[in-house]
């Protein structure tokens, strides 16, 4: 979590497949507080970290406009 950017980064493992509605509700509540949640599957982080990093950097760049 980065308070300055109001950004939350979540890495979801297998257990999150069973918690989709719970995660969605949490994300909506955080959005009401001005936060953005970027979610990545653990497989993405393990196998394609460069793309995860690129996605985060692009979000930061776009949010600064």
pLDDT of residue 64: 81
* Residues in Cβ contact with 28 at an 8 Å cutoff, skipping those fewer than 6 apart: none
| Residue given tokens 């994300």 in the structure block | 27
Tokens of 51: 């793309």
pLDDT of residue 32: 96
Stated pTM of the model: 0.80
Q: Tell me the mean pLDDT per 10 residues along the chain, length 65.
A: 94 72 88 95 94 96 85
pLDDT of residue 15: 66
């Amino acid at each position: 979590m980065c308070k300055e950017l109001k950004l939350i980064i979540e890495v979801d493992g297998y257990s999150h497949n069973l918690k989709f509605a719970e995660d969605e509700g949490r994300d909506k509540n955080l959005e009401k507080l001005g936060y953005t949640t970027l979610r990545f599957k653990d497989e993405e982080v393990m196998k394609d970290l460069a793309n995860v990093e690129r996605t985060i950097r692009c979000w930061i760049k776009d949010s600064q406009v």
